Chain A
Amino acid sequence: MLTPSIQFAYLTRFGDTALILSQRLAEMCGKGPALEEDMALANTALDLLGQARLWLTYAGEIEAAGRDEDALAYLRGDREFHNLLLVEQPSSSYAHVLMRQFYFDVWHNLALARLESSTDPRIAEIAAKSRKETAYHLRRSSDLIVRLGDGTAESRARMASAADSLWPYTGEFFTADFVDSTMAEAGMAFDPHALRDDWLRFVRQVFEAATLHMPPLDAWMHKGGKQGLHTEHLSYLLAEMQVLHREHPGAAW
Chain B
Amino acid sequence: MQTELPQADARTLSAPTEPGAEERAFQTRFETGIAASIKIEPKDWMPDAYRRTLIRQISQHAHSEIVGQLPEANWITRAPSLKRKAILLAKVQDEAGHGLYLYSAAETLGISRDQMVRDLLSGKAKYSSIFNYPTLTWADVGAIGWLVDGAAIINQIPLCRCSYGPYARAMVRICKEESFHQRQGFEIMMVLSSGTPRQKAMAQDALDRWWWPSLMMFGPPDAESANSAQSMRWGIKLFSNDELRQRFVDQTVSQAEYLGLRVPDPDLRWNGERGQYDFGAIDWNEFRNVIKGNGPCNRERMRVRTQAHEDGAWFREALERHAAKLAQRNEGTAAPRAAQGAP
List chain A positions with a Cβ less than 8 A from chain B.
19, 23, 26-27, 29-39, 42-43, 45-46, 49-50, 52-53, 56, 69-70, 73-74, 93-94, 106, 109-110, 135, 138-139, 142-143, 146-148, 150-152, 154-155, 158, 198-199, 201-202, 205-206, 208-210, 240-241, 243-245, 248, 251-253
Q: In the complex, A43→B100 CA distance in Å?
A: 15
* Nearest-neighbor residue (CB-CB) of B188 within chain A: A253
Cβ of B32 < 8 Å from any Cβ of A? no
Identify which of A39, A142, A251 contacts B100 (C-beta below 8 A): A39
Shortest CB-to-CB span from B126 to chain A, Å, is 18
Cβ of B76 < 8 Å from any Cβ of A? yes
- Which of B22-30, B285-293, B309-317 lies at the interface with chain A? B309-317
Which residues from 79 to 118 on chain B have a C-beta closer than 8 Å to any C-beta of chain A?
Answer: 79-86, 89-90, 92-93, 96-97, 99-100, 103
Question: Top 10 closest A-B pairs, CB basis?
Answer: A33-B312, A151-B318, A155-B318, A209-B338, A42-B93, A30-B69, A33-B315, A202-B343, A29-B73, A147-B322
Is B314 within 8 A of A152, CB to CB?
yes
Is B195 within 8 A of A26, CB to CB?
no
Please count how many residues in chain B sit with their CB below 8 Å of the partner chain's CB atoms.
Answer: 53
Contacts of B37 on A, CB cut-off 8 Å? none
Shortest CB-to-CB span from B268 to chain A, Å, is 29
Shortest CB-to-CB span from A101 to chain B, Å, is 14
Identify which of B78, B79, B85, B97 contacts A39 (C-beta below 8 A): B97
Is A29 within 8 A of B69, CB to CB?
yes
Cβ of B70 < 8 Å from any Cβ of A? yes
* Nearest-neighbor residue (CB-CB) of A33 within chain B: B312
Cβ of B321 < 8 Å from any Cβ of A? yes
Q: In the complex, A160→B86 CA distance in Å?
A: 33
Cβ of B66 < 8 Å from any Cβ of A? yes
Is B82 within 8 A of A248, CB to CB?
no
Contacts of B319 on A, CB cut-off 8 Å? 147-148, 151
Beyond A39-B97, A148-B318, A201-B343, is A245–B80 a contact (Cβ under 8 Å)? yes
Beyond A49-B86, A94-B312, is A151–B78 a contact (Cβ under 8 Å)? no
Q: In the complex, A201→B342 CA distance in Å?
A: 11
Contacts of A201 on B, CB cut-off 8 Å? 343
* Nearest-neighbor residue (CB-CB) of B79 within chain A: A244
Shortest CB-to-CB span from A228 to chain B, Å, is 20
Q: In the complex, A205→B340 CA distance in Å?
A: 9
Is A27 within 8 A of B77, CB to CB?
yes
Contacts of B100 on A, CB cut-off 8 Å? 35-36, 39
Contacts of B82 on A, CB cut-off 8 Å? 19, 49, 52-53, 56, 69-70, 73
Is A30 within 8 A of B96, CB to CB?
yes
Is A33 within 8 A of B311, CB to CB?
yes
Identify which of A23, A45, A155, A244 contacts B80 (C-beta below 8 A): A244
Is A26 within 8 A of B77, CB to CB?
yes
Shortest CB-to-CB span from B66 to chain A, Å, is 7
Identify which of A46, A152, A252 contacts B195 (C-beta below 8 A): A252
Beyond A26-B77, A26-B85, A42-B89, is A151–B99 a contact (Cβ under 8 Å)? no
Cβ of B198 < 8 Å from any Cβ of A? yes
Q: In the complex, A233→B226 CA distance in Å?
A: 53
Q: In the complex, A251→B308 CA distance in Å?
A: 36
Identify which of B81, B198, B304, B307 contacts A245 (C-beta below 8 A): B81
Interface string of B15-42 (1 = CB under 8 A from A): 0000000000000000000000000000
Shortest CB-to-CB span from B101 to chain A, Å, is 11
